[in-house]
Each structure stands twice: as C-alpha cells, then as structure tokens.
Chains A and B, each alone.
Chain A
Amino acid sequence: GAGVSQSPSNKVTEKGKDVELRCDPISGHTALYWYRQSLGQGLEFLIYFQGNSAPDKSGLPSDRFSAERTGGSVSTLTIQRTQQEDSAVYLCASSRGRGDYNEQFFGPGTRLTVL
C-alpha cells in the first residue's frame, strides 16, 4: 500500500519568499505530524493534527509558520518570508490513531534550502 508522501522532495528558494510543503498521509490515518530535522540535529516537533484540528501547535518556531489540514487528509505547511535558518528537512508522519502509543509512519521529507 502507499505510504506517506511529501512534495516537493527538494525546494530551493530565495530569502524572503514564501514556500508551501505538502504531505499526503496514509489513507485512514487520523493523526498527522510535522517535524523539522536540521543537519546533525534530532527531530524538532512543529505541529500535530487530529483530524482537521491542531490540538498542539506549540512547536511552530514563529508566526511565519502555519499549517492546515483539509478533509482529514492532505496537509500543507507554509513558511512565509523564508529565512536562511529555515533550511532543513521537513518531515511529515501519520498514525492510525493518537500518537501516544501508535506507530508513526514517516514520509521521505522535503529538503528546503533558503539562499
């Protein structure tokens, strides 16, 4: 079956531009997560969706970051006015139910480079 997919796989943008990253979770998975992985760093939690609502947005680094999820499926992470420190791999994961005890299935990530 299809896993979690993310697009684009790579994105190079100029400082100050807006970018949109897309995540398609596994069909039927109600929970969806966004993480950021910088070079040599662990996974930094950004936001978590249960259905279309986001009970936990605590990890969004600034108000330049926003995310939405529609139809309990696809999610987009938007970064406005990108900065060089936003360069990282952005990972999306989904799980069958709550992520407390359920396995998270990860996508391959989007590598964002801000010049």
Chain B
Amino acid sequence: AQSVTQLGSHVSVSEGALVLLRCNYSSSVPPYLFWYVQYPNQGLQLLLKYTSAATLVKGINGFEAEFKKSETSFHLTKPSAHMSDAAEYFCAVSVSGAGKSTFGDGTTLTVKP
C-alpha cells in the first residue's frame, strides 16, 4: 500500500521568501503524485501532478515540484511567497490500479507581511 508523509504541519514564511513544503511518499511501484491546495472556506483544487513524464512539474500560481525517486520525495516550492498563497496544502499519492489517491495530513502555510 502507498502512503505519504508531509513534514511540518505548519510553515510560516515572509512575503517574498522561498516557499518549501515537504512531501515524502512510500510506494513499491512507480507512483503518481499530486499537490492540492485548499484556500480558506473553499474546496480543494489541484496545483500540479506528476504522472511519470518530466520530473520537474510546473503548476498554477508559480508553484512547482520535483520528483526525486532516490529520495522518495515530491517537495513543493515557489520562489517568492505572496499573501494570497496562505492556505492548506495536501500531497497525495496513487499507483496504477488503485483507483484512488492517499492524502497526507496537510501543511498550513502562513505568509507574513
């Protein structure tokens, strides 16, 4: 069975600083990996996904993530944080045939002015 661990339930950065949200996965077969974002009082929406094409995946709102098989990681980054990036971020993993994704516990990002 696959699983995902998000390191750090809360991350705080200053506006303009680098955003780094960590995600490590466990899977015995090649995974599919996703990052979703949940803005306050809104539903989850997809930021980006990795499905075995390019290892560096670009998403919406300037976010990107790099699949590193050797480190079993899929960390989410953004060079410069905006106040509007404040939200909860979820990493998810799936494998072919699973039919569903397994989500991490989420990381709440706070952006300070």
Contact = CB atoms under 8 A, between A and B. Distances in A.
B101 interface: yes
Contacts of B45: 105-106
Interface in B34-87: 34, 36, 42-46, 49, 51
A106 B49 CA distance: 16
Interface in A68-115: 91, 93, 98-101, 103-109
A107 to B, nearest CB: 6
Nearest to A42: B105
Give the interface size bracket for B toward A.
20 to 34
B99 A50 contact: yes
B99 A55 contact: yes
Contacts of B36: 104, 106
Contacts of B6: 42
A48 B99 contact: yes
Interface string A10-54: 000000000000000000000101010000111101001010000
A109 B90 CA distance: 16
Contacts of A104: 36, 44, 46, 101
Interface of B: 6, 9, 32, 34, 36, 42-46, 49, 51, 90, 94-106
11 contacts: A4-B43, A42-B106, A43-B103, A45-B102, A48-B99, A99-B101, A100-B32, A100-B96, A100-B101, A106-B36, A108-B43
